[in-house]
Amino acid sequence: MTGKTARLIFWVGTLTSAAIFLWQTYDFHMQTPRLTHTDKLTEQVVAGKKVWHKYNCNDCHTILGFGGYYAPDMTKAFYRLGENNIASIVQHPDVMYKNSFRKMPQLGVSETETRQLVSFLRWVGDIENRHWPPQDEKFVQAYRLRESQPEKLDKVHLVLQACGGCHTFENQGRNVGGDLTTIANRIPYDRQTLINYMINPQSVRPGVAMPPQDVSPQTAAIIADFILSLKSTKEVNK
Amino acid sequence: MLIEYQSQRVSLWYFRLALVLFILQVIMGLWLSINYAFTLPQDLVNVFPFSTAREIHTNVLVAWMLLGFMGGTYYILPPECGRDLYSPKIAYAQLVIFVAAAVTAVIGFLFGWTRGKPLLEIPFPLNGLIVVAALLFIANVAMTIIQSKQKSALQWMLLGGVTFLAVMYLFGMPFYKNLNTDYYYWWWVIHLWVEGAWEVVTASIVAYIIMRVTGVDRKVVEKWLYVETGLFLFTGIVGTGHHYYWIGAPDYWIWWGGIFSALEPLPIVLMVVDTWMHVRERRNPIVNPLTWYYIIGLAIYHLVGAGLWGFMHTLPPINYYTHGSQITVSHGHLAFFGAYALLNLTIFYFAMPRLKGINKYQDRLGKWGFWITTIGMFVLGLVFGIAGILQTYLERFLDIGYSTAHLTMMFWFRVAFGVGLVFLAGVVITVYHLFTIKPSSIPAPEPVVTPASNI
C-alpha cells in the first residue's frame, strides 16, 4: 500500500461516515417531535427536568438507560410508581426506605418541585423508545388497561400494577410497604374500611407512611376484595 | 541528550498531577463499591450520597485522562516539530486554569454545586474556564506546528485529534429542554470522544512512541496511522448509533448503529497487528522492557476491553437486556483502563525517565505495579460482568423486581471491593515507582539507528 492510498482511506472513511451521521442527525430532529410528543413538552415538564438536574438524580438513577446504576431506571417510573408514590419517595426517602438495604438521600425537594418532577417523568414515560426497559413494560401496559377498563383486568395483574410499586405479592413488586399476604393476615379492617384506607390512609390510621392512592373507589373495591381473599385462603389452609 | 528540547519539561507537571488524580479516582471507586456492598446509615447518605461520589469518580477520571493527553502532546511535539514549544508559559497558564477549575468543581460537588448531567456535571462558569484552557492548549499546539520547518502527518493528526476533542465538548454545554435531544448530543461528547477523538490522539501518540523506540521507518508508521484513524472514524462516527436504540430515535439506528459498531473492533485489531509487527521488525534493541509491557498491554487490553466487550454489549438484541446495567459498568472499566489509562501510563513510562535524564531505569517495582493493576482490573471487570449478568437475568428475564435483583449485588460488590483494594495497591506502587524512578545499574544496549526523525 502506498502512502497515497492510506491517505485516501483516511479521508474517504472519515468523510462518508461524517456525511451519513450528519444526515441522520438532521432526520433525528425532524422525527423527534413525533417520537417524544413535543406538543406535551410544557413549561412544567421543562421545570421538572431542571429539578431532575438540580438534585443530581441522574448519578444514582438511570434514565433512558444512562446515568448511575445504583438505583432503578426512571424512564417508565411514572407508570411503575404513579404520581403519589413518586411524591412520597422523593419527599420522604428516609421513611419509604427505612427497611431497605439501600438508602436514598433526603434531598429537601419542595412540593412545587415534586409536582414538576412528576410532570417530567410522566412526559419521559411517553417517549416512544421501543418499549425499553423490558422489566417496566408490564407497568405501562397495566396502567393503560387500568385507565381504560379496570373491570376486565386479571385481579393479580391489577393489584400488582396498582400496589406493586411498594408491596410484594409472591416475590413480585418492590418491598417497601410489606408483602400483601402478610398484610392481609394482619389487618382487622372490613371491606369498606380497606377501601377508605387505600384512598386516604390517614383517615383510618393516622401517622401511617403510606401515601393516598389515586384509584377510583371501583378499582379500590376490586383490590380490597383481592387482599381480603388472601386472608381467608390462609385461614382455610390452617 | 535524552530530551532534545527544554520546553518538553512542561509535560512533567501534567504527568504528576494526572498520577495524583488517578489515585483519588481509585479511592473514590472503592467508596462507591462500599455503597453497593453494605447498607449505609441514612445520615451519611444524606451528606455524601452515591451520586456525589460518582461524579467525583468520573470527573477525576476525565481530568487525569486529559492531563495525560495534553502532557503527552507537549512532550512529543517539540522533537516532532524540530523546535521548542510556541510558548511554555501558555502551557503552564493553561495547566493552572485547568487544575483550578477541576479542583473547584470537585469541592463544589461536595456542596451540591452541579449541573446534574452524568459525566458533564461541571457547572457553567467552570466550563468557561475549561474552554479557555482548551483554547490556549490548541493555540499553543497549532502555533508550534505552523511555525515548524518540519511537516509531518503525525503533527496534523495530533492537532486534528485534540481540536476534534475540544469541539465535541461544546455540544454538552447547553441546556436541552428535550431529554432525548439532550442525550443525543451527550453522546457527541462521550462517544465521539472515546470512540473518535481520543482514539485519534491515542493512535498518534502510540505511533510516535513506537517510531522512537523501535527505529521503524516513519513512512511505514504514518501509513498505518492513516489507515487506523480512517477506520476508527469510519466505524466510530456512525457507530454512535449504538447509544440511540432506546432513546426515542428513529428505527433505522438499530441497523446503522448495530452494523457500524460491530465493525468498531477492526481498527483495534489492526493496531494490535501493527504494534506486533513493529516490535518484530524493530531495528533498535529493547532498552526498557517495562515500557514495552505497557505498549503491548495497551494494544491487547484495548482490544479486549473496548473492542470485544463493546462488540458483544452493543449488538441490539443483547443490548435490549444489558443496556444500563452492571454490564455497562464492566465494559466501562475494562475499556477506560485498557484503552486510556494504559495509554497514559505508556506515555508516563516513556517520557518521565527521559525527563529525569534516565535512559535505562530500574523496573522491578514497576513490573509489580503493571501486573497487579492489569490483572486486578481484569478480575474487577469479570466481577462486574457476573454481577451484571445476574442483574439482567433476575430483573429482566425472570422479572422479579429491582430490589430483589439488587440484593445479589451486595455479595459481588464485597468481592469487587476486595479486588479494588488490590488494584489500589498496584496503582500506588506504579505511581510511587514513576515518582521515584531511578537509573538501572545494568548498561543499556546501544541503539543501532538514530531514532527516526523527520528529515
SS (H, E, C) chain B: CCCCCHHHHHHHHHHHHHHHHHHHHHHHHHHHHHHHHCCCCHHHHHHCCHHHHHHHHHHHHHHHHHHHHHHHHHHHHHHHHCCCCCCHHHHHHHHHHHHHHHHHHHHHHHCCCCCCCCCCCCCHHHHHHHHHHHHHHHHHHHHHHHCCCCCCHHHHHHHHHHHHHHHHHHCCCCCCCCHHHHHHHHHHHHHHHHHHHHHHHHHHHHHHHHHHHHCCCHHHHHHHHHHHHHHHHHHHHHHHHHHCCCCCCCCCHHHHHHHHHHHCHHHHHHHHHHHHHHHHCCCCCCCCHHHHHHHHHHHHHHHHHHHHHHHHHCCHHHHHHHCCCHHHHHHHHHHHHHHHHHHHHHHHHHHHHHHCCCCCECCHHHHHHHHHHHHHHHHHHHHHHHHHHHHHHHHHHCCCCHHHHHHHHHHHHHHHHHHHHHHHHHHHHHHHHHHCCCECCCCCCCCCCCCCCCC
Which of these CATH numbers, 2.60.40, 1.10.10, 1.20.120, 3.30.950, describes B1-151?
1.20.120
pLDDT of residue A238: 46
Q: Does the pLDDT of residue B357 top 60, yes or no?
A: yes
Q: What is the pLDDT of residue A177?
A: 81
Beta-bridge partner residues of B361 = B439
Q: Which of A52, A103, A135 sits opposite B45 (nearest CB)?
A: A103
Q: Which residue has the higher pLDDT, B449 or B443?
A: B443
> What is the spatial distance between Cα B296 and Cα B284, in angstroms, rounded to a whole number?
17
B81 to chain A, minimum CA–CA distance in Å? 20
Give percent of chain B above pLDDT 70: 98
pLDDT, position A141: 87
Q: Contacts of residue A129 in chain B, CB cutoff 8 Å?
A: 180, 246-248
Whether chain A has a CB inside 8 Å of the CB on B408: the answer is no
Q: Which amino acid is at B86?
A: Y
- Which residues does chain B have within 8 Å of residue A56's beta carbon, measured at their own beta carbons? 51-52, 55, 112, 114, 116, 121
Chain B residues whose beta carbon lies within 8 Å of the beta carbon of residue A58:
51, 116-118
| Mean pLDDT confidence for B91-117 | 96
pLDDT confidence of residue A171: 74
- Please report, as a single letter, which amino acid is at residue B220: V
Q: Cα distance from A88 to chain B (closest Cα, Å)?
A: 16
- Which CATH number is associated with domain A38-131? 1.10.760.10
A17 touches chain B (CB under 8 A): yes
Which residues on chain B are in Cβ contact (under 8 Å) with A74? none
**Angle in degrees, CA B279, B282, B287, rounded to 5:** 85
Interface residue A24 vs chain B (CB under 8 A): yes
Residue B187: pLDDT over 70: yes
Query: Residue B188 in contact with residue B171, Cβ under 8 Å?
Result: yes
- Decide if A42 touches B, using CB distance below 8 A: no
pLDDT bracket for residue B454 (50, 70, 90): very low
* Fold held by A149-238: Cytochrome Bc1 Complex; Chain D, domain 2 (1.10.760)
Q: What is the pLDDT of residue A68?
A: 96
Q: Are B257 and A36 in contact (CB under 8 A)?
A: no
Helix, strand or coil for residue A229?
helix
Tell me the domain boundaries of chain B.
Answer: 1-151
The whole-angstrom separation of Cα B3 and Cα B78 is: 10
Nearest C-alpha of chain A: how many angstroms from B359? 33
State how far residue B330 is from chain A, nearest Cα, in angstroms. Answer: 12
Please state the rounded mean pLDDT for residues B33-48.
96
Mean pLDDT of all residues belonging to chain B: 94
CA–CA separation, B201 vs B205, rounded Å?
A: 6
| Cα end-to-end distance, chain A, whole Å | 84
Amino acid B455: pLDDT: 35
Please tell me the predicted confidence (pLDDT) of residue A154. Answer: 73
Of the candidate ranges B76-85, B90-99, B212-221, the one whose mean pLDDT is the lowest:
B212-221
A217–B contact, CB cutoff 8 A:
no
What mean pLDDT do residues B84-109 have? 97
In chain A, which residues fall in CATH 1.10.760.10?
A: 38-131, 149-238
Task: Provide, rounded to the nearest whole percent, the portion of chain B with pLDDT above 90.
Answer: 89
| Cα torsion through B323, B328, B329, B334, rounded to 10 | 180
Better pLDDT: B106 or A138: B106
Q: Taking residues B49-66, what's their average pLDDT? A: 97
Reported as a single tens digit per residue, the pLDDT across B127-161 is 999 999 999 999 999 999 999 998 999 999 999 99
Which residues does chain B have within 8 Å of residue A135's beta carbon, measured at their own beta carbons? 395-396, 399, 402
**What is the structure's pLDDT at A232?**
59
Whether the pLDDT of residue B397 is over 60: the answer is yes
Report DSSP state, residue A75.
T
Residues of chain A with pLDDT under 70: 150-153, 232-238
What is the model's pTM? 0.91
The beta-carbon neighbor of B42 closest among A72, A94, A129 is A94
pLDDT attached to residue B3: 87
User: Three-class SS of residue A144?
Assistant: helix
